[in-house]
Amino acid sequence: MIRPFKSGECTRRRVPFAAPRAHPGTVRRPRAMAITSCILMTLTVSAAPKQNASAVAQIRSVLRTQQEAWNRGDIDEFMNGYARSKSTIFISEDTVRRGWEMVRDRYRKKYSDRAKMGLLTFSDIEITPLAPDSAVVLGRWKLQRAKNRPHGRFTLIFRRLPEGWRIVLDHTSAATPAP
Q: What is the pLDDT of residue 45?
A: 44
Q: What is the pLDDT of residue 91?
A: 98
DSSP one-letter string for the chain: ---PPPTTS-SSPPPTTPPPPPPTT---HHHHHHHHHHHHHHHHHHHHHHHHHHHHHHHHHHHHHHHHHHHTT-HHHHGGGB--STT-EEEETTEEEESHHHHHHHHHHHT-SHHHH-EEEEEEEEEEEEETTEEEEEEEEEEE-SS---EEEEEEEEEEETTEEEEEEEEEEEPPPP-
Q: What is the pLDDT of residue 149?
A: 95
* Per-position pLDDT tens, the chain of length 179: 555 545 555 555 555 555 555 555 555 666 666 665 655 555 444 444 566 889 999 999 999 999 999 999 999 999 999 999 999 999 999 999 999 999 999 999 999 999 999 999 999 999 999 999 999 999 999 999 999 999 999 999 999 999 999 999 999 999 987 76
How does pLDDT run across 100-139, given as a tens digit for each residue?
999 999 999 999 999 999 999 999 999 999 999 999 999 9
Q: What is the pLDDT of residue 26?
A: 52
pTM of the model: 0.72
